[in-house]
Structures are given as structure tokens and as C-alpha cells.
Amino acid sequence: MPEEVKKLKPGVVTGSDYLTLVKNCKARGFALPAINVTSTNTLNAALEGAMNSKSDIIIQLSNGGAQFFAGKGIKDVEKARVLGAISAARHAHTVAKAYGICVVLHTDHADKKLIPWVESLIDASEAEYEVTGKPLFSSHMLDLSEEPIDENLAECERVLKRLAKIDMSLEIELGVTGGEEDGVGSDIDQMDNSKLYTQPSEVLQAYEKLSPIGHFSVAAAFGNVHGVYKPGNVQLRPEILKASQQHIQSVYDTTERPLDFVFHGGSGSSPEEIAEAVSYGVFKMNVDTDTQFAFSKPVGAYVEAHPKAFKYQIDPEDGTPFKKHYDPRAWLRDCEKSMAERVQQACAELGATGKSIAGA
């Protein structure tokens, strides 16, 4: 039986509370869905789905999602990426407590060219920490998997030294998750298949270099891909995660499953594959493609049900006003409910339903 669970205050968690959340997931054998958001609507939908599941959740933004959050009307793309991520974080900090769950704030996939984006957000968290004693975000990700491993880990080491000072965590990537997401990565048909599988020796290198500095998690590649592709392109091999855990445990005589693993490219995975990965120390699984579809799908049905409302403000035949139908709140609410339901499905598949450790 796992030890008694420490309760945390609902809302955004950082520092030691974030580590408590991770430890609880691994001890109780489940993982949290990490939902990519692009707007207040998608962020609220993710929170609603987690609340309905009585599950904690990870909210994350890609660079493109952050830019969209600020508004595509801002012509300075780099500035918009920073402002959008900060705005999303502020929104989450403002409303998360009301949903009664614990929320992790994270940024997704930042390759070499996006390191300045991450460092600007660290600047914001350092300023926040100075005032409140807590960072703005819980963690950030550096995806330098396409760089030589020594360069990858050296840069991760440099950034983690900054993050550790303000109680933040770093997610790194070893091996290449197939597919493309917001300009990071490439189509799996163009990928050297051997790069889709991380080696335990690479994970050991990361452990030796980063664990003395601060907390980090590993997005290890075991054949997973972003998006939904036809079957047969790659084969999932979750046993790679098990081998990496055992390798570090044998070399350094650590506790069982010393690494905190992340499952990227989770959309389309079978419940059996998810459960096996979780059993090997995965505490976080990214879900983006499926929730995008869930959010968008109701739009078509709504327009089909109210076709005139999207052509006329007033029915040209009988003068009926259509305001209640074309009001964005009407159809966007359908989108939110659909996405929230997909988040609930993710919580169930990951075993997180009913396991929030947010206290009353």
C-alpha cells in the first residue's frame, strides 16, 4: 500500500508541491494528462475536464499556442510568444483554485532556436519569485534531441541551474519523438528510425549530469509520434523505459524507478500501451491532437443545425433574429464541453480519475 497521500492546496503547484504531485503519481501507479492549450476556452475546458474527473492536470503551451494566446495580430512573433505564455499562466493562477484541483503549468517543445523564448519566461518567473516566493511556471521543456547528446545535456545543465534557484523543474528529450508539432520536429517518414528509440546509456548520461543540480524529467523516445498516423510506421517499445530505470538503479543503487518519465505523442495510443508505459515510471502523457479535434468537432454540427445564423443576423424570410445562435458563447461552449469530455477520457485512461490530491 502506498503511504498516505499529502494533500495540497488547489491551484497552480510549483517547487516541492510539484515534486509531491509527481511522487504521488508514481507511487499510486497513474499519470496525469498534459493538455496543450491555445486560448482561455481551451484552458478552461482542460480545467473543467480534470475537475469533472476529480483529477489533477498539467496545462502546457507550445510556442505557437503561446503566440495564439496573445493574439496573431501582434506582429512581433517573439514578443507574442512570451506575452501569450505569461498571459496564460496568469489566467491559470487566477482561476485554477476555483476548479478545486492541482494544476501544473508547463511549456512544451522548445528546440535550439526557441531557447530565447524559454529564457524570457524564466526571466518572468525570476521576477515573480522575487515578489511572491514562487515562480510563474512549474516547469519548462528543452527539446534538443536533434542536437548531439553532449550539446543537448550541456545546454540543459545550464538552464537547469537557473531553474533550480527558483524551484522549477526541467523536462528534457532524449531520442526523437516522431512527427512535427508547432514547427518542432519533422514528419516520421523523413526520420531515421533508430533515433526513435532512446538508449539506456543516454539516459544514464542525463542522470549523472543533471540530478546533482535539480529536478528534471525525461521525454524518452520509445517509438512514439506526435499526431495520428497510419499504423505500422513505427512500433512502440515501452520496455525501453523499464531498461533505463533498471540501468540507473543497478549503477547507482537507487530506489526503484528513479527517473520521472514523460510520454510524448500520446494521441492514438492504446490503453494497454499507456498502462505499460505508466508502470515503468511515466507520470505525464501529452495529449494535443485528440483534444484539438474534440474542441473543433462540435463547430460543424452547430453550423449544420443553425445554417442561417451564420449567413444572416435576421432571417430574411420571417424576420427572426439569430443572435442567440451566432453568439460565440453558444457554439464555443459546445466546443469546451466536447474537449472537457476528451480530457476526462484521458484522465480515465491514465488512471488519474478520482485521484486529485487537492485538499478542501
17, 56, 108, 290: the active-site residue: 108
- What is the C-alpha to C-alpha distance for residues 123 and 64, in angstroms, rounded to an integer? 20
Q: Backbone phi, then psi, for 319, in 5-degree steps?
A: 80, 10
108 in active site: yes
Dihedral sign for Cα 63, 269, 246, 198, please: negative
Distance of CA 187 to the CA centre of its chain: 20
Q: Which amino acid is at 299?
A: V
Q: Where are the alpha helices (DSSP H) in 58-184?
A: 63-70, 77-95, 115-132, 149-164
Residue 4 zone, left/alpha/beta (φ > 0; ψ -120 to 50; rest): beta
Residues β-bridged to residue 180: 185
> Nine-digit cell at 58?
498539467
Task: Answer whether 82's CB lies under 8 Å from 71's CB.
Answer: no
Going through 189-257 in order, the beta strands assigned E by DSSP cover: 216-220
Helix (H, G, I), strand (E, B) or coil at 9: coil
Positions marked active-site: 108
